[in-house]
Structure formats: C-alpha cells, structure tokens
Amino acid sequence: MDESARAAAAAMDAADPLADRRALFRLPEDVVYLDGNSLGALPLAAERRIAEAVSGEWGESLIRSWNAHGWLDLPARTGDRIARLIGAAPGSTLCCDSTSINIFKLLAAALAMRPGRDVILSERGNFPTDLHVAEGLLGLIGRGRLHLVARADIAGALGPEVAVAMLTQVDYRSGCRLDLDETTRAVHDAGAVMLWDLAHSAGAFRVDLATSRAEFAVGCGYKYLNGGPGAPAFAYVRPDLADDVAPALSGWMGHAAPFDFEPGYRPAPGVDRLRVGTPPILSMTALHAALEAFEGVDMAQVEAKGRALVDFFIAEVERLAPPGALSLVSPRDGARRGPQAAFATPNGYAVMQTLIADGVIGDFRAPDILRFGFAPLYTRFVDAAQAAALLADILATGRWDRPGNHVRAAVT
C-alpha cells in the first residue's frame, strides 16, 4: 500500500464517529474481514452472553429459565431491538425461524390477503431461497404462479393479477439497492401487497419500514446484525394487520395461550402469532447481545460510513488495478447501493482464493463476481486501502493462477 493511500485512510478512520464500535468485536489481527454481509463478525457481548446462558441459565436454572431469565419473550425482545434498526414500531417485529421460513409464512399471508389475484412478482436475480420458497408454496396451495422479471422491469410488471411483490431491497450480487418508499408505493398503487427481504439492509443502512407502509418484511440475523452462524431471522408485520394475519405455520408457540394446551388453534394477538415452535434460545441470546453494538448508534451515520468506505475502496481498486482487469458491477452512486462492492473479473474464484490466502476475506459469486462487504460497525478505511492494494497486486502479478485455486469449495 502506498503512503498517500495509507495516510488518507488513517485520516478518515481518525474522523470516523463509529470508530469505537470495532472494539466491541473479536476480529483476528492478521485478517481484513470483508464478508460481514454473509456472516457478521463475533461481538464480544455475544460470546460473553452465550457462556452465561449456557452455564448460569441452562446449567443452573434449568427449565425455570423460561420465566426467570425471560426465555419465553426473548423473540419479542430481540425483535424490538431489530425494529429500531429498520424503522419499525416496537411490537411489530419478531425474531424467529430462518429467513426462508419467514418468507413462507408471510408470502402465504400475503396471498390470502388478495384472493382474486394469484401472481407472486419477483426478480429473476433474487436470492434463490426466496424463489424456491415461493415455488414450493404455490405448489402446496395448488394455484398461482411466480412471475420473474429483471430489476429494471418491476414497475412495468405490476398488473391487476399481482397479489404480492416479493423483493430483496439490496441485490446480493451487485449490491444495487431499491428505493423502499418508491417501490412500495408502486406496488400499492397496483393493489398488491409488499413483502421485503431486508437480508442485506438491516444493520447496513437507514431503513424506515413504518414510513414505507410496506405490509411485510423479513431479514437475516447473521449478516449485518452479527448474530452468528444460523442466527434466527426476523419477521415484520405492519401493526394494523398483525391481528388479522392467518399463520400458515400454526404452531403451539404462536397460540394465544400455549400453556393451556388446547387442541384447537387460536392465534396469539399481534406478531407473536408468527411464532411456530420452541425458539433456539442460545442462538437468540447471541443475537440479542450482538444487537447491543447498535445501541446509541445513529443509523444515518452507519449509512454514511458504509457509503464512504465503498466509495474509497472502489476508487482505490480502480486507481491501482491493471487497466481492464476488472469492471465494477455495483452502482457507482452510493445512494443506490448497500455497503458492498462487486467487481466482475475472469477467474474471479481463483483471484478470491488468493486474496483469502493472503488475509483479505471477501467472497465469490458465480459466474465471475468478487464481492466485498463493508460492515460499517467494524470495518476501517485502512482495511479498504489494504484490500484494494492486495487485489491490484494479485491481478498485476497473475499469481492467482495456481492449480489449487481453481477447485471450487462447497461454500464460497
């Protein structure tokens, strides 16, 4: 890395109002971690709380913990912490299940709200699980179809047959971000229900779900929320609808009185009805504690830092990389992007393997995309500078071209 880039990065780190947040995370000294959009880093509070919950709560209090340590309402309390980050009212967001399962539940609810319409509109490039779940649900109910269009054609595809638009705000490959208000308005103008996947939005930048008036949203707990591998996800229901939603997965924990053990199902009031079975307390405890890292944090600052990090990284990569070696896939305009940068390059997989071996962890998305996530709470400008310099060096020297680098692993 040249001295001027290092100095510029260090000056931006010194002026960063979120700089103190990094100390809340365990990050290996010798690694630049740019994959928090896939698996967030480990918050020290989560590490501490899991250990306490295992020995003190599970070990000592045993089953009494459901009451004594608030296990029973942990999904609601964790949901409330997430709600603040996505501009949702307390009581509107529940922490539960996986994103895939929450999509199933809310997609089913959305279809039931528009009985005369039977199209689920989504994007061809959406994350596959969203599309697979929709397909499975349509097969199960035996009616309807999934209509897939390119991102640019969403508005034009909103017709009278569309029951629900199921859209991911930030495209997982390119980082391209849809405007929440504008898109929701167009969907509502067409008479359809809006279901957002906020997997790459929650904890990444300012989201104002309440203002958008979107009916439903889901998102992951393990990306920018840092809840750990397989952390439970979240589901949001607009408060005026929460008492009317008919849960397709009607489990005993979503019953109005689970410990009355009634044979018939009566949904709990509000978003609690989206609960299904017993929550994964240890994982949820980790996520609940992880969310402390956002306490007192202004999401507008998170957004501004994510944008500045990515702008700086893109500028450095384009300044240093050999001409024509890669091309930017992410929008150049930071307002139209999540905090990630994607570059297309031939042999991207081998290039990423070399980067990882040299201590810069990003990821590869087929067919040719190098993806770098800049989680604003713990990523520094010096990390961006170092990663850009290393990437440019790997491309310039061609040292990615080693036999072992071309063998794809199961998880990329």
Ligand X SMILES: Nc1c(O)cccc1C(=O)C[C@H](N)C(=O)O
Catalytic positions, written as ranges: 127, 197, 222-223, 371
The CB-of-67 to ligand PLP minimum distance in angstroms stands at 30
CB 377 within 8 A of CB 40: no
281-290 helix and 44-52 helix, angle to the nearest 10 degrees: 140
The CB-of-32 to ligand PLP minimum distance in angstroms stands at 22
Residue 411 binding result from ligand X, ligand PLP, none, given CB thresholds of 5 to 8 Å by partner type: ligand X
Closer to ligand X at the Cβ: 127 or 374? 127
Nearest CA to 343 out of 305, 377, 313, 369 is that of 369
Residue 201 binding result from ligand PLP, ligand X, none, given CB thresholds of 5 to 8 Å by partner type: none
Nearest CA to 289 out of 200, 221, 199 is that of 221
Told to check if 197 binds ligand PLP by CB under 6 A, we report yes
Question: What distance in Å separates the CA atoms of residue 309 and residue 115, rounded to the nearest whole number?
Answer: 46
Question: What distance in Å separates the CA atoms of residue 53 and residue 78, rounded to the nearest whole number?
Answer: 15
| Binding map of ligand PLP across residues 167-186, x = CB under 6 A, - = no contact | -x---x--------------
Cα–Cα distances in angstroms (integers) from residue 216 to residues 17, 271, 341, in the given order: 32, 11, 28
End-to-end CA, the chain: 27
Residue 285 binding result from ligand X, ligand PLP, none, given CB thresholds of 5 to 8 Å by partner type: none
The correct pick among 178, 199, 209, 245 for binding ligand PLP (CB under 6 A) is 199
Q: In the window 125-154, what residues touch ligand PLP (CB under 6 A)?
A: 127, 129-130
- Helix, strand and coil percent figures for the chain, each rounded to 5: 45, 15, 40
Residue 410 binding result from ligand PLP, ligand X, none, given CB thresholds of 5 to 8 Å by partner type: none
Question: What distance in Å separates the CA atoms of residue 280 and residue 288, rounded to the nearest whole number?
Answer: 12
Closer to ligand X at the Cβ: 134 or 245? 134
Closer to ligand PLP at the Cβ: 76 or 220? 220
| Binding map of ligand PLP across residues 225-264, x = CB under 6 A, - = no contact | --------x-------------------------------
The CB-of-50 to ligand PLP minimum distance in angstroms stands at 19
Told to check if 98 binds ligand PLP by CB under 6 A, we report yes
Residue 291 binding result from ligand PLP, ligand X, none, given CB thresholds of 5 to 8 Å by partner type: none
Exposed, middle or buried: residue 226 (CB in 10 Å: 0-12, 13-18, 19+)? buried
* Lookup: tokens for 217: 């949203």
Question: What distance in Å separates the CA atoms of residue 388 and residue 49, rounded to the nearest whole number?
Answer: 36
Told to check if 100 binds ligand PLP by CB under 6 A, we report yes
Q: Residue 19: how many CA atoms within 13 Å on its side-chain side?
A: 12
Question: What distance in Å separates the CA atoms of residue 310 and residue 338, rounded to the nearest whole number?
Answer: 9
Q: In the window 4-63, what residues touch ligand X (CB under 6 A)?
A: 38
Question: What distance in Å separates the CA atoms of residue 38 and residue 35, rounded to the nearest whole number?
Answer: 6
| Binding map of ligand X across residues 207-246, x = CB under 6 A, - = no contact | ----------------------------------------
Where do contacts with ligand X occur on this chain (CB under 6 A)?
38, 127, 172, 411
Where do contacts with ligand PLP occur on this chain (CB under 6 A)?
98-100, 127, 129-130, 168, 172, 197, 199, 220, 233
